[in-house]
Structure 1
Amino acid sequence: MIQQILSFLLQVVATLVGGAALLRLAMRWQRMSMANPVGRFVRALTDWLVLPLQRLLPPGNRFDAASLLAAFIVKLLHYGLLLALLGLLGAGGWASLPVLALLGVVRLAVSVMTALVIIAAILSWTQNRTLVTDVLDQLTAPWLAPIRRIVPLVGGVDLSPLVLIVLLQVVGMALGGLQAGLAGGWTVAAA
């Protein structure tokens, strides 16, 4: 019971901080201002980790390697602590940990994108334009645009978010299978 609680708490912290680091990376890539409510939230969650890393890896024009490294470090610590807690870090466990963490970062990116698409779709039904909806639209538009070119409106309803969510879930399942194979059959939590 204690292991389950600790595992859950590790998952929550790693998902929140690692996801915010990836969101920071995406916002930098899209040249979005961090002065909006989403940007302020992301900075509040990640400045403590990303800013020291930016001294080593200064951000480029659009790419922030420090944010990506922060997400990797969070997942590395997450899986390291989790495997140690469960007693699964034997002699060979340490060797697979960086690959598990790398796959975990990609899986986390899939989870973050899925959440963004769901939230943006729900907020689009309200027809209220806010800073948050603008940020979500800007973050999801590059992923939805190619699908919108292929999938027509059905009765005036845009199904591209649904298609993207299904595709993201398939990718997440495949990554989860790869992680489970690396961890010797032990299933790694959702993100």
Structure 2
Amino acid sequence: MLYQILTFLLEVAVTLIGGACLLRLYMRWRRISFGHPVGRFVQALSDWLVLPLQRLLPPRDKLDAASLLGAWLLKLLQYILLMVLIGAQRWTVLPLLALLGVAKLAVSVATAVIIIAAVLSWTGNRTLVADVFDRLCEPLLAPLRRAVPLVGGVDLSPLLAVVALQVLSIVLGSLQAGLLGSAVVIGAG
């Protein structure tokens, strides 16, 4: 029971901060300002980790490698701690395991962004936050919107994107489990 509680708390912390790092990376790539509530929240969660890393890897144009490295380091630390807790000895797989963890985290962030944007669109109120989430979703949903017609006036692209992302998450989780062997499952993300 204690292992499950520690695993859960560690997963929540890494998902929140690592997700903020990845959202920071994505917002920079999309050239979305950080001068709104979403940007300030992302910075508040990730500045302590990303800013020191930016001294080593300064942002270039649309790429913020320090944010990606921050997310990877968090996942690496998470898996190290979990391996120590369970007494696993698969240290050589940790870098790749952390990379797959970051990919799963990116899938979770994309899923959350799509769901939040969809819920905000139902309110009918156009706010700065809703506009930010729309801009974040556009590259993810545009290909689906071109391919899938409206059904009864309803855009099903967010639902299809979430389903596809969840399938991808299952595949990534399976790859992680394969690295560790079937006897060891580390973390949900």
2:163 paired with 1:162: no
Counterpart position of 1:148: 145
2:51 paired with 1:54: no
Counterpart position of 1:107: 104
Q: Secondary structure at the match of 1:176?
A: helix
Unaligned runs of 5+ in 1: none
Q: How does 1:1-191 map to 2 (within 5 A)?
A: 1-88=1-88, 90=89, 93-185=90-182, 186-191=184-189
Q: Distance in 2 between matches of 1:110 and 1:122?
A: 18
What is the root-mean-square deviation in Å for CA atoms of aligned residues? Answer: 0.7
Residue pair 1:176, 1:187 contacting (<8 A) in 2 also: no
Deviation, structure 1 residue 55: 0.4
Q: Could you tell me the TM-score, scaled by structure 2's length?
A: 0.98
The letter for the 2-side match of 1:23 is: L
Question: Cα deviations across residues 138-177 of structure 1 (Å, max 9, x unaligned)?
Answer: 1110010000000000000000001100110110000000
Q: Secondary structure at the match of 1:125?
A: helix
Unaligned runs of 5+ in 2: none
Q: Distance in 2 between matches of 1:190 and 1:117?
A: 20
Q: Secondary structure at the match of 1:63?
A: coil
Q: Distance in 1 between matches of 2:154 and 2:102?
A: 32
Q: Secondary structure at the match of 1:105?
A: helix
Q: Distance in 2 between matches of 1:49 and 1:157?
A: 41
Q: Distance in 2 between matches of 1:5 and 1:26?
A: 31
The letter for the 1-side match of 2:77 is: L
Question: Cα deviations across residues 17-49 of structure 1 (Å, max 9, x unaligned)?
Answer: 000000000000011100110100000000000
Q: Secondary structure at the match of 2:154?
A: coil
Deviation, structure 1 residue 189: 2.7
Residue pair 2:30, 2:62 contacting (<8 A) in 1 also: yes
Question: Cα deviations across residues 54-106 of structure 1 (Å, max 9, x unaligned)?
Answer: 00000000000000000000000011111111111x1xx11000000000000
Q: Distance in 2 between matches of 1:189 and 1:132?
A: 31
